[in-house]
Structure 1
Amino acid sequence: MKILMYNTVSDEMPYVEKWTEKTGHEVVTIDQPLNETTVDRAKVFDAITTQQTTAINAPVYAQLAQFNIKQIAIRQVGYDVLDLPEAFAHNIRLSNVAAYSPRAIAEYTLTQLFNLIRHNKKFDRAMNKGDYTWAAGGQAREIHDLTVAVIGVGRIGTALAEMLHAMGATVLGVDPIYRAQNEPFVTYTTLDDALSRADVISFHTPLNDETRYMADENFFDKIQPGTIMLNFARGEIVDMVELEKALESKLLAGAAFDVTPNENDFMNQKQDVTALPADVKRLIEYDNFLLSPHIAFYTNTAIKNMVEMALNDAVTMVNGGVTENEILR
């Protein structure tokens, strides 16, 4: 089988080579995402895979169908980049990699929470100016004293909840799906109740019509003063204007984000700081706001699994088989 791998990064190549040696299938890699301009590259292939944050728009699916491409395997959890109705209308099967490494994202979320409660950005900035006093950063809190609302208790949210519980934090879970196996370390509750009680709010939901800009003005009105907010899911879950207001007014004690609604304009690029979007430039000036370049997933285990699972799913779907990673109608 001949597979075209869109938007390939160098870190993926060793795992691609090992997979081709093991399976005998041919994989051709390109570094562009799948879109209206690059879809023609798929013409002579049997299957395709991609990972990207830019949308795969309607015309792409019609073109793929003309090339007799019957599937798209995305190498990521979030599938909001896909136009599901359009794909299904052209009988294109879809898959994601929902569990390439939930711990990778959970661990990084926890890392940034620790950075916030220990005021590490403040201390680093002060020390760079020669100020080594305790007062430069301020007194920290300990994690076992915190109540954390995990919004979205799927694989990633569950992994984070387990870690938090092991360190003594109280974990509140908000999710339309109740998972009984989480009861030992999660107390399920309503969103309003969680917001009224939480010291920390952490988003781990997919992006869809229900979650897009769920953290709006009304949402912020319900949180406690001094709350910490973490977003390692999708940028459009949080209204960034309201986020900035909450930081400015001290409603939020801090925030750590790995994503933004406009991340395609600047993330995974090298540029002068002055060229960053205006809202990003303002936010990174805050001592209590941490921004990372969508790297929470970025571990050796995750990259290996993303590549191997997506390629395996591509072969399975083309051959008419069943994969647990398929995105169903």
Structure 2
Amino acid sequence: MPKVVISEFMDEAAIAAEFGGFETLYDPGLVDRPDDLTAALAGADALVVRNRTQVRGALLAAAPDLKVVGRLGVGLDNIDLAACGERGIAVYPATGANDVAVAEYVIGTAMLLLRGAYGATAAVAAGTWPRDALMGREISGKRLGLVGFGAIARETAHRALALGMEVSAHDPLLPADDPAWRTGSGTVARAENLAALVARSDVLSLHVPLTPETRGMIDAGILARMPAGAVLINAARGEVVDVAAVAEALRGRHLGGAALDVFPQEPLDAASGAPLRDLPNLILTPHIAGVTQESNVRVSRVTAQAVRRHLSEG
């Protein structure tokens, strides 16, 4: 009987439907108890994780029988793919299952940051009626720049075009004649380089994996190229952005707003979060852009099916 260990939260209906007949240990708190996780992996055939479980080094060594890793999401920077490949361990991300959730997060936070009126509840309830201070901006007619143009960025572009935005993207891996540049809602302009994209983006949204090339790519120099009052959204990976530079650009009012869902250190603690306190028009969320009730069901089902299929066929 195959043994499956699940170290982070997952839809329990998917576990019941796909792992029936398997020895299954579902404990979403295992990620925070490394000794217990190491012990649980003895004899495990499969491990299912989100982004916090680091599938590398000592953890892989503790799982000599491991055959497959299921990733409840699409980013793979927490998994040592080379080490898994050397041992013949298959890795299955939930490709496509949370695209809509992230795209809606990007559009939603862009509208929130541009309008700037939705944090006024306390002031209105107190009777100050701050109308003059809350004249925000419409999303229609604004220029959206997408850094990377994979599946999630394309979902974002589809929604942005429908809202009347102009959309451009920079993706050096996507040829100019790829049909992806023409969506059902319109055409996405192809920016030749990052600097050109940034210079004309009222809203800049990041959609790249963490690689040596993307690490720190949004730095003080790039932020300075953005139009005054522009908005930055990062729901990709925290290390892609120089967070201190973002804080400084917000504090100096060059950036008109920012939404950060991912961080170089997760979870943030009081010390690492301190530079981000009391900044104007900043939204911080705990790596939740791709997690909705609906996407959790899809991601869990796709991942569980891939793991079960691999174990059954093996």
Q: Deviations over 1:206-252 (max 9, x none)?
A: 11111111111222232222111001111111101111111111110
TM-score (structure 2 length as normaliser): 0.89
TM-fit CA distance, 1:80: 0.5
User: CA 1:45–1:34 in 2, change beyond 3 Å: closer, same or farther?
Assistant: farther
TM-fit CA distance, 1:282: 4.2
What corresponds to 2:169 in structure 1? 173
What corresponds to 1:250 in structure 2? 253
Q: Distance in 2 between matches of 1:135 and 1:34?
A: 47
Q: Distance in 1 between matches of 2:148 and 2:2?
A: 37
What corresponds to 1:158 in structure 2? 154
What corresponds to 2:4 in structure 1? 4
TM-fit CA distance, 1:129: 4.2
TM-score (structure 1 length as normaliser): 0.85
Contact 2:14–2:304 at 8 Å: present in 1 too?
A: no
Equivalent of 2:31, from 16, 30, 33?
Answer: 33
What corresponds to 1:107 in structure 2? 104
User: CA 1:124–1:116 in 2, change beyond 3 Å: closer, same or farther?
Assistant: farther
User: CA 1:104–1:3 in 2, change beyond 3 Å: closer, same or farther?
Assistant: farther
Q: Which amino acid aligns with 2:136?
A: A
What corresponds to 2:142 in structure 1? 146
TM-fit CA distance, 1:319: 4.6
Q: Deviations over 1:32-68 (max 9, x none)?
A: 129863233122333221113243331222332x2x2
Aligned length: 305
User: CA 1:18–1:130 in 2, change beyond 3 Å: closer, same or farther?
Assistant: farther
User: CA 1:35–1:63 in 2, change beyond 3 Å: closer, same or farther?
Assistant: farther
Contact 2:144–2:205 at 8 Å: present in 1 too?
A: yes
What is the correspondence of 1:228-307 to structure 2 with a 5 Å cutoff?
A: 228-266=231-269, 276-278=270-272, 280-307=273-300
Q: Which amino acid aligns with 1:6?
A: I
Q: Identity across aligned pairs (percent)?
A: 25
SS of structure 2 residue aligned to 1:55: coil
What corresponds to 1:72 in structure 2? 69
TM-fit CA distance, 1:194: 0.7
Q: Distance in 1 between matches of 2:83 and 2:187?
A: 40
Q: Which amino acid aligns with 1:33?
A: V
Q: Distance in 2 between matches of 1:287 and 1:53?
A: 29
Q: Deviations over 1:265-324 (max 9, x none)?
A: 44xxxxxxxxx235x244242231011122212222211122111122112333557xxx
RMSD: 2.2
User: CA 1:235–1:129 in 2, change beyond 3 Å: closer, same or farther?
Assistant: farther
Contact 2:147–2:208 at 8 Å: present in 1 too?
A: yes
Does 2:198 correspond to 1:195?
yes
Gaps of 5+ in 2: none
TM-fit CA distance, 1:261: 1.4
Q: Distance in 2 between matches of 1:73 and 1:186?
A: 33
